[in-house]
Amino acid sequence: MTGTSSKKLTANTSQSKINQGISLNEMPFLICITSSPVNANDIIDFVVTPKTFAETNHTDIMSERTERQSNIELLRVFAALGVVLLHYNNSSIGTGFSNALGLSANQFVLVFFESIFICTVNLFVLISGYFMKGSSKADLLKPVKLLSMYVVFELVAYLIKELPKGKPFSISTFADYFSPSYWFIFVYIALYILSPYLNLLWSHLDRKKQKQLLIILIALFSVYPIAWEIITYASKSSVWGTDSVSSFGLMQGISTIGLFGSGAGYTITNFILMYLIGCYLKCIEEDGKKFKTGKLVILLVVNVALIIYWAYVEMFVNGGAIDGTTGWYYESPLVISEAVLLFLIFKNMKIKKNKVINVFAAASFPTYLIHINLLEYFNIATFVQGNTFILILHVIGSAIAIYLISFAIYELYDLITKPLFKAISKKWQKKRYIDLSDQK
C-alpha cells in the first residue's frame, strides 16, 4: 500500500520526509511469504493466498490452509496495479497531481483513480486477517525472505541508476532508495509477529464481544482521529486565519493514536484494526452470512463518490491542494469501508482455479518494490498535461507495463534465490517459530 503525496503527517521534519516519499496511496502491497522456497506469492501472508500441503511440500503453518483462491489472487493483482496508479498520482514520485491543472478533466481522472485505490493498504491487511485468523504460529523466516527481497531489489536499483552518473558516494542518496517509501514492510512485519497473539485474543471472544471490540476500535482509532484531522486541516487554511504552528497545537496531545495526530493511517494501530476486521469477516462467513454482490457494488459506487466529494469539498473550503485531503487518510471510515466492500465483491466472484491468475499474482509484492524505480521513465508530466483520453490509457498502460516488468524481474530473482532459501529453511529450525498453540 500507499498516491497522494500530500496526505501529510503534520508533526515534525521526519514526518514531512515521510510524506515526500510515500503517500497513503502507495500502498504497499502484498506480502505473502510462505515457507516454501521464496515465492513472492508467499512472501508473508499479506494477502495470503493459501496453499495446500501438496503445493508447498512443507509441513508448516501455511500448509494448513486451503487451496489458493483465484478470485483473491485476482484481487491482489488488481490492488498491485492500483498501487502503481496511486504512485503515478503522487506529487513527489510520479508527479501526477503536481502537474495536473486544478479543476481540469485530467485532475478529475487522477482523483477518480486515487479514490478507488486509496484503500489498497487497508485491503491487503484485511486479507491477511481473513486468512490468518486462527493461526497460532508466526514463522520468523518469512520476514527474513521479505527483507532480503527488499534489500536486493533496492540495492540493484541503486547500482543501475546511480553508478553510471559517476558521482561521489552519498549516504543520503543511498538511503533514499530504502526509505521512506517502504514503511509498509516494517509495519507489516510487526503486525505479522504480533498476529498469533491477536488471534489468541480474538479466539477468546464470542461473536458479540468481537463485534463490540471492533465498534470500540473504529470509534477510537478511525472516527475520532479523522474528526480531529479534519478540524486541524481546516484550521491550517488561510481561510481560518491561523498559521501552521498554532493549528498544529490544536491537534497535538489530543489524538487517541499519538502525540502528533493519526499519522494519516501509517500506523500499527490502523493495521491491527484492519487485521481484526478481516478476522471478523471470516467469522461471519463461517456463521453463514452472505452479501449480495449487486448491493455491494451499489454501496461501493456510493462510497467512492463520497470520497471524491470529500476531496473536492475540502479543497474548496480550505483552499489547499486536492491531494492534501483527509478523505484519503487510511483511518478514514470511508477508506476502511471501501476496502471491506472490494474484498466482499471479489470474494463473491466464482472463479475456478486459474493458473494464469495465480502465476501472475506472484508479482504483486515485487511490483511494490520495483515500481517506484520505474515510474520516472514513463514521462508522466507530459501525459498529465495532455489529452484526457490519452491520459487514461497512459495511466492504465503504465501500471500494466510496470507489473509485467516486475514479474519478469521477480522470476529471475526467484530462480537465483530459491536454492538458498530452501537450504536456510532446512538448517534453521530451532527458535524459528512463535508458537502459541499450547495456549488455546
d(C-alpha 91, C-alpha 406), whole Å: 23
249: cell is 497545537
| H helix runs in 239-292, sequence order | 244-251, 268-286
Contact predicate 77/117, CB 8 Å: no
Q: Are strands 137-139 and 433-435 parallel, antiparallel or unpaired?
A: antiparallel
For the whole model, what pTM was predicted?
A: 0.84
* 146: nearest Cα among 389, 432, 440, 421: 421
164: cell is 553510471
Contact predicate 193/143, CB 8 Å: yes
Contact predicate 144/50, CB 8 Å: no
pLDDT of residue 320: 82
d(C-alpha 369, C-alpha 174), whole Å: 15
* CA distance to 44, 78, 229, 355, 407, per residue, from 71 (Å): 19, 10, 36, 12, 19
Give burial (CB, 10 Å; 0-12/13-18/19+) of 70.
Answer: buried
d(C-alpha 255, C-alpha 262), whole Å: 7
427: cell is 538448517
pLDDT of residue 67: 65
Q: Which residues of the chain have pLDDT under 50?
A: 1-66, 238-248
- Give φ, ψ of 31 to 5 degrees: -120, 125
pLDDT of residue 252: 65
d(C-alpha 411, C-alpha 357), whole Å: 15
- Give φ, ψ of 30 to 5 degrees: -20, 130
269: cell is 494501530
pLDDT of residue 206: 96
List Cβ neighbours of 43 (8 Å cut-off, separation of 6 or more): 30, 31, 32, 33, 34, 142, 145, 146, 149, 365
**Biggest alpha carbon distance in the chain?**
65
Q: Where do the structural domains in the chain lie, given as residue ranges?
A: 13-429
How many CB atoms within 10 Å of residue 313? 12
Contact predicate 385/106, CB 8 Å: yes
pLDDT of residue 53: 30
pLDDT of residue 180: 73
pLDDT of residue 352: 87
List Cβ neighbours of 156 (8 Å cut-off, separation of 6 or more): none
- The beta strands (E) that lie in 99-185 are given as 137-139
d(C-alpha 174, C-alpha 308), whole Å: 37
**DSSP H or E run through 294:** helix 293-318
d(C-alpha 72, C-alpha 127), whole Å: 9
d(C-alpha 229, C-alpha 251), whole Å: 7
Per-residue pLDDT tens digits for 29-54: 433 333 333 444 444 443 343 333 33
pLDDT of residue 244: 44
Per-residue pLDDT tens digits for 257-281: 988 888 899 999 999 999 999 999 9
How many CB atoms within 10 Å of residue 185? 24
Give burial (CB, 10 Å; 0-12/13-18/19+) of 293.
Answer: middle
